[in-house]
Structure 1
């Protein structure tokens, strides 16, 4: 029994709660399970969750993940935030991802392409509001057990999700790129060091897109990434194979003096099982 318990993901200790402080609005009460990635944006299947620290450099079978029969879920936000502020915008994420998936299928079905880019219309406010909200939610129940404290990094993100369209204008930048993997990665906060520069990164990656938030004018990001300005009416994905080695950023193979620091329960990977 002792050896078996050691092989269960530590994620198990960060999933069970009924009441707590909502990680978006800060209210105390009953918490609602939030699907991350949002329902509609992906095909909901049976998945397992693990901390990404349990995955990197290890054979996947070494640690048994926490199973969920219907997608990856986090019980860290209240019903109002889940249904109004996130659910009211998730439809745009679903629409964009479905359209991009069809365009990507066409791109790889046919050999000759004059360009490596695919484009879709987007309501950037709705899209970003949903994605930022899911990033805030995708963490441990430990953060719900005490009243929220002010954070100059996270408060503008919360304000934006709650309806302030200008909350990120002076505080954050958003980048996105093609993400060609089945596994889903959520990282609420990672410190990434590259060539003498330290950046804070928040990330949500699932096929076909990686969505990253950084501090204003301080971010490190893949060269093939595009910047999303709130008010944009188009998303442009670069499908060139030149970007594949960095598509899992920041959890790609580190090079040179690159390094990162993270809190394990804030960085979760989920992956389909039984398929």
Structure 2
């Protein structure tokens, strides 16, 4: 397993590193995952999901970061444009849903467990996917770029191609009522014979899941998001709470997960 300190960017960075979104070579820039503005940035402790998830997982002491979970894997241009110009949509969605969620749990007689907020789905997804791509080890920046059926369409979408995902990926979301943050750039799941590669970024109040097109592995309670959607509808009931931390959930029968520790990061706010 790769040491946690390797993804924590404690290595010397030079001008020959490849940026994981645009694929160009040059100096790297730090990206906050989750993005600033969508959460209250505090001191966090970071661990690999593979270090804390499993039958024999032992408690480990994570690596502290003084102002949120950060990854130095993209260039300043991508950070300021592809992500920065769209991060406001994530912040607006998070703030609008948080207000409604607070109201829902304070009101004892709410007639429905659903809340909703308008959104620009393309801008929201472009920013979320960009942060998923950025959340990885700096070692990935030292590899030669190559075409990848799973990642190339994601890169093209983040860089401005609104139609890049039409034949390759599906997107799902659900209520994520937890304090910790979860980012997994890629993992693969087998569920009763069905196999699917996926990516996820989860932080209050939503989990955001990418899957291979038509493969359909997602937790109970997930809602499919289309890029043409104008609103997000979120169910706040506790009916599917046990599945909200997917993929860190109990596996049963013919189910198993494959993931790389350096691409599977949990961060816990320290107050």
Q: Identify the TM-score tier after normalising by the shorter chain.
A: over 0.9
Which structure 1 segments of 5+ residues have no match?
1-8
Deviation at 1:147, TM superposition (A): 2.0
Aligned pair partner of 1:18 in 13, 30, 33: 13
Contact kept, 8 Å, 1:200 with 1:219, in 2: the verdict is no
Counterpart position of 2:179: 182
Q: TM-score under structure 2 normalisation?
A: 0.95
Counterpart position of 2:46: 49
What is the RMSD of the two structures over their aligned residues, measured on CA atoms?
Answer: 1.5
Deviation at 1:61, TM superposition (A): 8.3
Which structure 2 segments of 5+ residues have no match?
none
The answer on 1:151 being equivalent to 2:148 is yes
Counterpart position of 2:238: 241
Superposition pairs for residues 1-275 of structure 1, below 5 Å? Answer: 10-14=3-7, 15-16=9-10, 17-19=12-14, 20-57=17-54, 62-273=59-270, 275=271
Contact kept, 8 Å, 1:183 with 1:271, in 2: the verdict is yes
Name the SS of the counterpart of 1:25 in structure 2. coil
Cα distance in structure 2, aligned partners of 1:113 and 1:220:
32
Tell me the number of residue pairs that the alignment of Structure 1 and Structure 2 aligns: 266
Cα distance in structure 2, aligned partners of 1:61 and 1:258:
22
Q: TM-score under structure 1 normalisation?
A: 0.93
Deviations 1:55-89 (A, max 9, x none): 11489983221111100000000110011100110
Indicate how the Cα distance of structure 1 residues 104 and 59 shifts in structure 2: closer, same or farther if over 3 A, else same: farther
From the two aligned structures, give the one with the greater helix fraction: 1
